[in-house]
C-alpha cells in the first residue's frame, strides 16, 4: 500500500508530517506533497485547500504523479443529523455532491455518465479507519454530503435535509475525492470529526474547534490506522 492522506487545512493534518520518517517534499500545482514512512506505512501527505475542485485536483495528482494506491481524506465537518454531535466522528459509507444539479438532463445529484448519485467508499479501508477512530471518539457511519458552500445558516441545513434526509455530515471535499477515486479505480475512505452543527453558530464553532482540538483527532486516528 502507498497511502495518500489529504486534508483541506493544516490544522486537520497537524503533526502527521512531523511524524513522517525519511520524508522528502515535492511541490506541484500550488501544493506541497510530503512523501515518507508513517508508522511503517508508505505515505504521501498533502493539503488540498478548501472545495471540490481543489480536492479533486489533489486526489488526481496523488494518484497520477505520486502513485498512491489508496486515499484517505481526514478533516472536520458540520453535523447533518441531530444524533451526531460536536466531537463525534463520521466515517463515510457513501458520499454525495449536494450542490450538483444537471436536471432536467440528468436526475438531481446524479453525476453524468457515471449513473451514480452516491459514491461508495472502500469497505476494507473504511472498516480499518472506523476501528482506528473508535479509540478516539464516538463513531457514526453513513452518508457524507459535499458541496462548494460552508453551511452556516439553519435554513441551508434544513433545505439540505429535506432533499437528502440521511445526511450525517456536511463538508466541502469528500465527494469530489470519491468521484476521482471511483473514476481511477482507487480505494478511498473519508473520515470527519464534527466541528459544528451547520447552523447559525457554525462559523464560530468551526474556527474554535479547528484551532483547538481538530489536530489531535487526525493524528490519533491516523496513528491507530497505520499501526493496526
Ligand atoms: N466543514 C466544517 N463545518 C462545515 C460546514 N458547516 N459546512 C461545510 N463544511 C464544513
In this prediction, residue 212 carries a pLDDT of: 86
Q: Nine-digit cell at 166?
A: 440521511
Distance 151 CA to ligand 1 centre (A): 6
The Cβ-side half-sphere exposure at 161, using a 13 Å CA radius, reads 17
Which residue is closest in CA terms to ligand 1's atom 2?
77
- The whole-number pLDDT of residue 228 equals 92
What is the residue whose three cell numbers read 495528482?
A: 61
What confidence score (pLDDT) does residue 22 get?
A: 87
Q: Give the domain range for residue 194.
A: 2-225
Kindly state the cell numbers that stand for 137: 471518539
The dihedrals phi and psi of 224, each to the nearest 5 degrees, come to: -60, -40
Predicted confidence pLDDT, tens digits, the chain (228 residues): 999 999 999 999 888 998 999 889 999 999 999 999 999 999 999 999 999 999 999 999 999 999 999 999 999 999 999 999 999 999 999 999 999 999 999 999 999 999 999 999 999 999 999 999 998 999 999 999 999 999 999 999 999 999 999 999 999 999 999 999 999 999 999 999 999 999 999 999 999 999 888 878 889 999 999 999
Whether complex ipTM tops 0.90: yes
What pLDDT score does 214 carry? 81
To test the pocket of ligand 1, the residue of 196, 207, 210 to mutate (highest count of ligand atoms within 8 Å of its CB) is 196
Which atom of ligand 1 has the smallest separation from the CA of 151? 7
The CATH number for 194's domain is: 3.40.50.1580
| pTM of the predicted structure, to 2 decimals | 0.97
CA-nearest residue, atom 1 of ligand 1: 77
Question: Residue 138: its pLDDT value, please?
Answer: 97
Q: State residue 88's pLDDT score.
A: 96
Report d(CA 177, CA 54) in Å as an integer.
10
> What pLDDT does residue 9 have?
95
Look up cell 481538530; give the residue. Answer: 214
- Sign of the CA dihedral with 83 first, then 87, 90, and 95 last: positive
Query: How many domains is the chain partitioned into structurally?
Result: 1
3-state secondary structure of 205: helix
Catalytic annotation, residues: 12, 196
Atom of ligand 1 nearest to the CA of 196: 3
Amino acid at each position: 500500500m502507498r497511502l495518500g492522506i489529504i486534508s483541506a487545512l493544516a490544522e486537520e493534518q497537524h503533526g502527521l508530517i512531523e511524524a513522517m520518517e525519511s520524508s522528502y517534499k515535492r511541490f506541484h500545482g500550488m501544493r506541497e506533497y510530503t512523501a515518507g514512512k508513517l508508522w511503517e506505512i508508505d505515505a504521501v501527505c498533502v493539503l488540498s485547500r478548501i472545495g471540490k475542485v481543489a480536492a479533486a485536483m489533489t486526489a488526481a495528482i496523488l494518484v497520477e504523479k505520486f502513485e498512491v494506491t489508496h486515499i484517505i481524506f481526514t478533516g472536520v465537518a458540520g453535523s447533518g443529523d441531530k444524533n451526531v454531535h460536536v466531537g463525534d466522528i463520521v466515517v463515510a459509507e457513501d458520499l454525495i455532491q449536494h450542490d450538483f444539479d444537471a436536471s432536467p438532463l440528468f436526475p438531481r445529484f446524479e453525476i453524468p455518465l457515471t449513473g451514480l448519485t452516491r459514491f461508495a467508499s472502500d469497505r476494507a479501508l473504511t472498516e480499518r479507519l472506523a476501528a482506528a477512530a473508535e479509540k478516539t471518539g464516538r463513531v457514526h457511519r453513513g452518508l457524507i454530503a459535499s458541496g462548494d458552500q460552508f453551511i452556516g445558516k439553519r435554513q441551508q441545513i434544513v433545505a439540505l435535509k429535506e432533499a437528502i434526509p440521511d445526511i450525517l455530515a456536511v463538508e466541502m471535499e469528500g465527494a469530489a475525492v470519491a468521484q476521482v477515486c471511483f473514476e481511477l479505480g482507487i480505494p478511498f475512505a473519508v473520515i470527519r470529526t464534527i466541528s459544528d452543527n451547520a447552523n447559525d453558530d457554525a462559523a464560530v464553532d468551526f474556527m474554535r474547534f479547528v484551532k483547538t482540538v481538530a489536530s489531535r483527532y487526525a493524528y490519533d486516528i491516523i496513528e491507530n490506522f497505520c499501526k493496526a
